[in-house]
Chain A
Amino acid sequence: MAPQAKSGGGNRLERNDRLVRLALLVVAFSAVSVLLVITVFIVGQGTPIMFRYGLKSFLTGSAWYPSEKLFGLWPMIVGSLAVTAGALVIGVPLGLSCAIVLTEFSSKRVRGFIKPIVELLAGIPSVVYGFMGVIILVPFIRETFGGPGLSVLAASVILGIMILPTIISISVDSLQAVPPSYREGSIALGATRWQTVKMVLFPAARSGIIASIILGMGRAVGETMATIMVAGNAAEVPRSLLAPVRTLTSNIALEMSYATGEHREALFATGVVLFVIIMVLNTIANATSAKRRKQP
């Protein structure tokens, strides 16, 4: 009896192990299932109205008057693209410079000071950025350049600052991943540090840097509260940098609390457009960083 009980114990352990493996597999699919459920709900709620009114009029219509059943998303699509482009103009030079300084031009002590600051930048709530925009940037733009102040320009600057942590951290990772021998070889050939950065490190880390910029774009497209606070939110195509603008995200957040019926469906349709843009950006970023991983 005794030996059997012992081997039974061994089997129990092995059976437990198999059960654990199964349980972990189920848990591991949680993220995928959440993604699927979100996709199903947003698309399920948002697409019927798009086809009812015609995809073309939905995407290219320039009038958004939900009370009159006019659901043209064009101004918001242009708005999102405009502030995202603006954010890149501000954020990419700042972010890449910071990444280069952190990896190539600073001592360990300076790095130990700047790195936590960048991490802190990532932790500050978006409403605080938006608030700083309203209190400081918007009045500044109004007094210096004219116009209402709440504008494409204000949203671009605030979003440009908000995407810095994403750009910096991923670029730093990819610059650090360049094998030290590249750097040493270049310096040994008599190149200066900057020449090394420009001609060796940047090309070697290119795909990671591109991925960081695309992920930064994703953040800028998706940011909501800060944009609402500084962009002015007029639902029309902005004519200049100083004109107010409404993004896809703001469109949802501004009207969600009181929308009903078709109006609410149209907001979900806005969500679908946003969702598609983000998924395309994610896939590109994924593909570029996958290419990087394959490189020797």
Chain B
Amino acid sequence: MRRLGPRVEEKAARVGLWALTLITVGVLVFIIFFIMRRGLPVLSLEFLTANPADMGKTGGIFSTIVGTVALTVLAIVIAAPLGVGTAIYLTEYTWGGPVTRVIRFGAECLAGIPSIIFGLFGFILFVTKLKFGWSILSGGLTLAFMLLPTIIRTSEEAIKSVPASYRSVSFSLGSTKWQTVTRVVLPTALPGIVTGVVLSIGRSIGETAATIFTAGSALRMPTSLFSSSRTMSVHFYILAREGISMPNAYGTAAILIIAILGINLLTYFIMNRFIKKYS
């Protein structure tokens, strides 16, 4: 076989690489159009505000929206302070050393653990051992553990990007470490931290494996932290897998995609403002 000339090879490589890239882009665009074309016609104010009836065959998805929001809020309320606190400690209070390495290693390992393992763990600890039952509390705690590494990593990056001179000025004015952190570093890093939190919200909305075994799949409207509740993702999974109602499944999927699109747009918006401020 004769070797290709460099110019021919360059052309071939460009065409091949672009073709594969366009496949990736095409897959995403296709998924979104496919779901939207079938899901958008189902959407109406009633679909959003009515509770599911007849196992989800008819009615809307209101209680699953409430369940999703409740779980997500609880998870973020727990994970955000822990995650941001960890990030502050890692960036402002230590410089390398074994403690930092252990903490980083722990966070990285936690990030790699599959959601079904979180589900198993939440089931055995919160649902059975602590007797919270299938509930928003069990699901929220499990999700919080899952989100923790994401929030740590994004907050750490945001805090690291605050210019060192800001800290020097604050110290030279006589402030303590904590004053510097709360009045100078955190306000500056806030957009980056918020982006991380918003991305975690997206992750918890889309999660199924960890929530189905901890929050359960009750269709009733949740009334307290101890009621079992079905999230939108779980609802979609059950509707589609058991073939209960395809139109309602598409409608739920459309809402999920819209939520994820909204969240991505929001993070983009926040990040762009953040970047503009520093360049």
Q: Do A and B come from one complex?
A: yes
Q: A23-62 interface mask toward B, CB cutoff 8 Å, 1 = contact, 0 = none? A: 1110111111011011001100100000000000000000
A127 with B233: CB separation less than 8 A: yes
B117 with A271: CB separation less than 8 A: yes
Residue A241 lies at the interface, judged by CB distance under 8 Å to chain B? no
B85 with A224: CB separation less than 8 A: no
Knowing A31-B148, A123-B263, say if A128 contacts B109 (CB, 8 Å): no
- What's the Cα separation between A161 and B14 when bound, in Å? 22
Residue A203 lies at the interface, judged by CB distance under 8 Å to chain B? no
Query: Interface-forming stretch among A66-74, A180-188, A276-284?
Result: A276-284
A256 with B236: CB separation less than 8 A: no
Query: Interface-forming stretch among B43-51, B55-63, B185-193, B207-215?
Result: B207-215
Residue B171 lies at the interface, judged by CB distance under 8 Å to chain A? no
Among B14, B114, B123, point to the contact of A224 (Cβ < 8 A): B114
We find that the number of chain A residues with CB closer than 8 angstroms to chain B is: 85
Task: Identify the A interface with B (CB < 8 A).
Answer: 13-14, 16-17, 20-21, 23-25, 27-32, 34-35, 37-38, 41-42, 45, 93-95, 97-98, 100-102, 105, 114, 116-121, 123-132, 134-136, 161, 164, 168, 191-195, 197-198, 215, 218, 221-225, 229, 249, 252-253, 256-257, 267-268, 271, 274-275, 278-279, 281-282, 285-286
Q: B183-225 interface mask toward A, CB cutoff 8 Å, 1 = contact, 0 = none? A: 0000000000000000100110111110011000000000000
B23 with A94: CB separation less than 8 A: yes
Residue B70 lies at the interface, judged by CB distance under 8 Å to chain A? no
- What's the Cα separation between A281 and B113 when bound, in Å? 10
A253 with B256: CB separation less than 8 A: no
Secondary structure call for the A interface: helix
- What's the Cα separation between A218 and B152 when bound, in Å? 20
Knowing A98-B20, A123-B263, A282-B112, say if A256 contacts B120 (CB, 8 Å): yes
B93 with A24: CB separation less than 8 A: yes
